[in-house]
Amino acid sequence: MKMLTILAATAALLSAAPGVAAPSSGDAEIPFVSHDGIQSWIAPNDNTIYLQGTHSQWYRADLMGPCTGLSFASGIGFKTGFGDTFDDSSSIIVNGQPCPVASVTKVSGPPAAQNTK
C-alpha cells in the first residue's frame, strides 16, 4: 500500500511540474509498405530517418544504433515486423545490412533544407 502511495505522489509531481514534457511514445505505424505506403525518405544522419507516408504524413524513425551508410545511401529497403506495417519492430536495410528501428513517431515534416530521395 505504501508503494502505491509513493507511485501516485511521484506521478502527480511529474505531471504538475512546469516545463517537463512527457517523452513521445513512438508508437506510430506506416501501413501498406509494399503498396507505396512510403513515398519518400530523408536520412539526415546514420541514426535517424524521416519517412513520408500516404497523404503527405511524415514520420521520424529512430534507429537502435548507427546504420552505417544511411545518410548517403541512394536506395534503401524496408523489412516490416508484422504484416505490411512499418513500426518499431521493423528494420531499414542499407547495403544489405538490417538496421533495427527503435521508435516511429508522427512529425509535422522533415528537417528543413533537406532533399527527399
- Non-local CB neighbours of 30 within 8 Å, separated by 6+ positions: 37, 38, 51, 53, 59, 85, 86, 87, 104
Give pLDDT tens digits for 51-77.
999 999 999 999 999 999 999 999 999
Whether pLDDT at 109 is above 50: yes
Q: By mean pLDDT, which of 17-21, 23-27, 28-32, 34-38 is the weakest?
A: 17-21
| Strand 58-63 relative to strand 91-94, pairing | unpaired
DSSP symbol at 2: H
The closest of 84, 91, 95 to 49, measured between CA atoms, is 91
Q: What confidence score (pLDDT) does residue 115 get?
A: 52
